[in-house]
Structure 1
Amino acid sequence: MPDHLQRIVESIRPLSPIQLSLLDSSGCALATDVVAHEDIPPFDNSAMDGYAVVAESAEGWLPVTGEVAAGDEPRLSVEPDTAVRIMTGAALPAGATAVVPVEHVDEDGERIRLRQAPQPGAHIRRAGESVEAGETVLVAGTVLDAASIGMLAALGHSYASVFPHPRVVIVSTGEELSDPGAERSPGAIFDANGYVLTALARDTGAQTVRRMIASDDEAALRETIEELLPHADLLVTTGGVSAGKYDLVKVVLAELGDVQFHKVGMRPGMPQAFGFIEADPGRVIPCFGLPGNPVSAYVSFEVFVRPTIRRMQGRRDLSRPRISAALEAPIESVADKVEFVRVTLRRRDGEWQARPTGNQGSGILRSLVEADGLAEVPSDRDHLDIGERVVVHLLRSV
């Protein structure tokens, strides 16, 4: 399984960068480093509403010779034994060496008396205190959030060079499928996989198109996929990659491009397909064929598709966060396969404890609803005892 994942990730390249307005770039990864072209703040300024003074000579009653507000051009200066009224964020007048907060002075018309001698540098924000000109502020791959967008704005940027969110097309297949909300015929099931995979893709920030093909007809399947390809940066199908009589996805994907089919050493999710198909003349896109069982499709997405999408987004963090947890119940596994066991988590005595959610069948979607994470059982273990530690891939915040 790790080798299969490594081959996939190494074959993927980030999408071509685009320019987006700052707010539209939220959640995207930077395509280039951002270097400050000036200091932040760009000038010495006041951290308080108060009075700018020369700290070394500020004694007795001082005449107030002027006022400077935030945004005013720095034209005033402060002479010894005088004061200038100043507002928070206003440029420090020339000659001033301290700011005295308004609540620390006695006022009498246009003069003030300091209640205590100020320290040089008090309540002054120095130029470059936050960022110095020439400093690398954000590195390529940083996912833009409110703080980093604010930093870009503070540097004067209105646009950012970012990797776009990929367009992911999800195609669920099978003659037994019915769309939720439609009438379900005898022997049919509702298309849970299409919704599961679409929701997971959106969780990564991807733009999504979901399509269900309730037919085991090779021509119809191929026609639908070809219709969607021009609008896709990544194609994900579910169902039809095993060895069954009606598993036609293998046939169609193999005809459309260089797609390989594997029995990957993992459970759930052994049958897998991955490769590249031509979406437009001269443009090829990655393609996944995932198993049809709901849990198998979910786990396969987390193990293989999520890292692919994040790689296309130019991100450095390819997978979900992981923690170490001690087992509260034993786990029986299978030899020669990495197994992902659905578990709940709780804190006990300062450490994480993990417990399987119950029936681990690949069709038991409820076991995922109850799970906080996926505990990874190594391929060289077929049994884990209570108290043994496992790596848990977090599916939600805990």
Structure 2
Amino acid sequence: MKKLTPLADALDHILERAQPMDVVESVRLQEALGRVLAAPVTSDIAVPGEDNSAMDGYALRAKDAGQALAVSQRIAAGAVPEPLTPGTAARIFTGATVPEGADAVAMQEDCVLNEGVITITADVREGQHIRRAGQDIQAGEQLLAPGRRLRPQDLGMLASVGVATVRVYRPLRVAILSTGDELLEPGQPLSPGKLYNSNRYTLQGLLQGLGMEVIDGGIVDDDAAGTREALSRAAASADVVITSGGVSVGEEDHVKDAVRSLGELGLWKLAIKPGKPLAFGHVQGTPFIGLPGNPSSVFVTFCLIARPYLLKRQGCAEIEPPSVRARADFSITRVGTRQEYLRAILSIDGEVMRVSVGENQSSGVLSAVSRSNVLAVIPPGMTVSPGDTVEVFLLDLLSG
């Protein structure tokens, strides 16, 4: 029997061949969510541009706080204040520029106003409630490096320094093909021996979650000539071709031979569960990934193998999702020979993270994935007792 390939070895092989995208374009900030930066972004300005108030209250000199102070001016956000007259206070609002000569802000809750004069009821120290110029961002500071996949908070930060456009990599074009005579599309009448094509929608959603362009090649029948034609057509229009099904050892699994005839194929039996069969190669020069056909296997192998490959191709600097440790609310007494990725549910019990698993972990049971929010990792040869700590990957991070 051929030895099973460890996941890490297969992933290293694939990632070594992941050439990052080299097509760059400029997009408006409001169109940049999820895109990958191709050039560093540096701020031309300081944020905040001037010392400003962190509170609604009164700007003053700290040494004057022990006496009654006349209110000499009112400063709203956006206004340009006059220098502060010594021995007075300025009514000031959150975000407004602190006037020259003031070195503290007293909260309005700590001040009593009577006929234009304030008395301060709390201690005031120099620098109190003042946000210093440049404390957030310095002029000339690099804010984001190439390879950053832009998040909403990144866009907000870039907007805060006046950036209107960014240089990003073109979205990766990924063609997906579903193989099998047994497949029907949702909406068609179900007949004996047939089943609905769930993999198409799983893969489409996963790719869209990564911000990539999906080229839908539809269903490919179990036919050698048709499979070659579909793969050739997909390779001509895409940066990567991904198939589900057709890479096992069955007589009707034509994808392997079609890929070999059109390019090059490496085929592994991975030491993971679910998702043992996996193919990688190229079709007429276009990289090819062949995933298993079972729905849960498609999801798991995409997240563990296709996802990091695609992210590296897209130019992402960070391709490995973080994991956390959680306390098991389940037991595994049977020692496995493959690393298992259990579809599981993470919950918070006080300050303790707990993970539970459903009974049916079959590779054909997609409902277990839908109900889950994590993958719990069980290394080969490991048993689990309730209370043991296990590693888990958050599905929201794996699928987006």
| TM-score of the aligned structures, taking structure 2 as reference length | 0.83
Give the drift of 1:250: 1.2
The equivalent position to 2:20 in structure 1, one of 6, 10, 14, is 14
Q: Which runs of 5+ in 1 are unaligned?
A: 279-283
Q: Which runs of 5+ in 2 are unaligned?
A: 1-6
Counterpart CA distance in 2 for 1:197 and 1:144 is 22
The percentage of aligned residue pairs carrying the same residue is 35
Deviations 1:114-154 (A, max 9, x none): 33575433332221222233444334444433322221111
| Shift in CA distance, 287/136, structure 1 to aligned 2, threshold 3 Å | same
SS in 1 for 2:376: strand
Give the drift of 1:83: 4.2
Deviations 1:193-246 (A, max 9, x none): 212222222333333233322522333333333333344232110111122222
Matched, 1:367 2:368: yes
| Counterpart for residue 377 of structure 1 | 378
| Counterpart for residue 296 of structure 2 | 295
SS in 2 for 1:161: strand
SS in 2 for 1:18: strand
Matched, 1:182 2:182: no
Matched, 1:259 2:265: yes
Counterpart CA distance in 2 for 1:101 and 1:139 is 39
Counterpart CA distance in 1 for 2:374 and 2:138 is 42
Conservation of the 8 A alpha-carbon contact between 1:327 and 1:389: no
| Counterpart for residue 69 of structure 1 | 76
Conservation of the 8 A alpha-carbon contact between 1:333 and 1:339: no
Give the drift of 1:99: 3.5
Moved more, 302-311 or 26-35: 26-35
| Counterpart for residue 245 of structure 1 | 251
The equivalent position to 1:275 in structure 2, one of 281, 290, 294, is 281
Q: How many residues align?
A: 386
Matched, 1:162 2:163: no
Give the drift of 1:181: 0.6
Counterpart CA distance in 1 for 2:299 and 2:29 is 33
| Counterpart for residue 234 of structure 1 | 240
Conservation of the 8 A alpha-carbon contact between 1:320 and 1:395: no
| Counterpart for residue 105 of structure 2 | 99
The equivalent position to 1:42 in structure 2, one of 49, 55, 60, is 49
| Counterpart for residue 281 of structure 1 | none
Deviations 1:238-295 (A, max 9, x none): 11112222211112222333332222233322221112334xxxxx543211112222
Counterpart CA distance in 2 for 1:350 and 1:45 is 38
SS in 2 for 1:296: helix
Conservation of the 8 A alpha-carbon contact between 1:323 and 1:394: no
Counterpart CA distance in 1 for 2:202 and 2:150 is 26
Give the drift of 1:316: 0.8
Give the drift of 1:182: 0.9
Counterpart CA distance in 1 for 2:232 and 2:259 is 10
Counterpart CA distance in 1 for 2:41 and 2:145 is 6
Conservation of the 8 A alpha-carbon contact between 1:344 and 1:372: yes
Q: CA RMSD, aligned part only?
A: 3.1
Counterpart CA distance in 1 for 2:133 and 2:257 is 65
| Shift in CA distance, 225/49, structure 1 to aligned 2, threshold 3 Å | same
| Counterpart for residue 358 of structure 2 | 357
